[in-house]
Structure 1
Amino acid sequence: MSNLIPQTLLSDIPDLYATEDLKDPLCYVKLFTPDSNWSWYIIEFSKADRDTCYGYVQGLESELGYFTLSELESLHGALGLGVERDLYFTPTVLSTIKEHSY
């Protein structure tokens, strides 16, 4: 179980592969490192393992891919700060995130 995202939010995120036919899926949650330039936007979440996510990652490059919440919980930025959830982020379509680089 992740400490990054409350269960109430996790239950609202589609299961893995549920949105693969959508051209512009919704990003439900934004995670970020407050002391670096990395952000993860979650589009899908594995209901089976309750850890694997699919989404849009902005860092050295920007790309769609898979990542795990357990891995993100172990990351720390340059000042030692861990990954946080953006409490003010509202679900946003992927094209808008790519266009505006939130």
Structure 2
Amino acid sequence: MILLTPELRAALRANAIAHHAAQRDGRREPDPLPVLKLFNPMGAATWLASELDADGSTLFGLADLGFGCPELGYFDLREIEAIRLPGGLGIERDLHFVARFPLSAYAEAARIAGRITEAEALLATVARARALRTPRNSDPEIPPASDG
């Protein structure tokens, strides 16, 4: 299976370019929707990617190898493509994945659930909570300050 079509590659590159431009210009970094979901058809590993570096292989997104601690970071497409599973299977692309929330919402929901999840109620709650946060209280681990 082709893991990265030309259309997906273009969308991932566009997100990476926007991210780098925001950093360069001192603007707030974008929080794009994940573009790509890869998964192990025989195990728990899942990757959601939102950006692709200029090298054509380094993806940025949310990685969950099935150990209960998903994390944001970089992963290598060539390494993922090289994985061979029993029966000659490899890592697959979820052909039906359509992100509805920004990557940050998937990351926070994964932290809560201990795995990447597409549970609509949890993702919607996390997305609403993130939208309500102010710069003064942007850390999800710190409860809101009492003003009264």
TM > 0.5 between the two? yes
Q: 2:133 maps to which residue?
A: none
Matched, 1:34 2:41: yes
Matched, 1:58 2:58: no
Q: Which of 77, 91, 97 is matched with 1:69 structurally? A: 77
Quick one: structure 1 residues 37 and 17, their matched pair in 2 at CA, closer, same or farther if it must change by over 3 Å? farther
Root-mean-square deviation over aligned CA pairs: 2.4
Q: How many angstroms does 1:43 deviate by?
A: 1.1
TM-score (structure 1 length as normaliser):
0.80
Q: 1:71 corresponds to which letter in structure 2?
A: E
Q: How many angstroms does 1:71 deviate by?
A: 0.4
**CA shift digits 1:31-53 (9 cap, x unpaired):** 0000000001001101x211110
Q: 1:43 maps to which residue?
A: 50
Share of identical aligned residues, percent? 33
Q: 2:78 corresponds to which letter in structure 1?
A: S
3-state SS in 1 of match to 2:48: strand
Quick one: structure 1 residues 53 and 81, their matched pair in 2 at CA, closer, same or farther if it must change by over 3 Å? same
Residue segments in structure 1 that go unaligned for 5+ positions in a row: none
Residue segments in structure 2 that go unaligned for 5+ positions in a row: 24-28, 110-115, 119-148
Q: Which of 89, 97, 100 is matched with 2:97 structurally? A: 89
**Rounded Cα–Cα distance in structure 1 between residues aligned with 2:61 and 2:51:** 7
**Rounded Cα–Cα distance in structure 2 between residues aligned with 1:75 and 1:98:** 27
Asked whether the equivalents of residues 81 and 91 of structure 2 are also in contact (C-alpha less than 8 Å), the reply is: yes
**Greater Cα radius of gyration, structure 1 or 2:** 2
**Rounded Cα–Cα distance in structure 2 between residues aligned with 1:101 and 1:78:** 25
3-state SS in 1 of match to 2:51: strand
3-state SS in 2 of match to 1:9: helix
Q: Which has the higher helix share?
A: 2
Q: How many angstroms does 1:77 deviate by?
A: 4.0
TM-score (structure 2 length as normaliser):
0.57
Asked whether the equivalents of residues 36 and 78 of structure 1 are also in contact (C-alpha less than 8 Å), the reply is: no
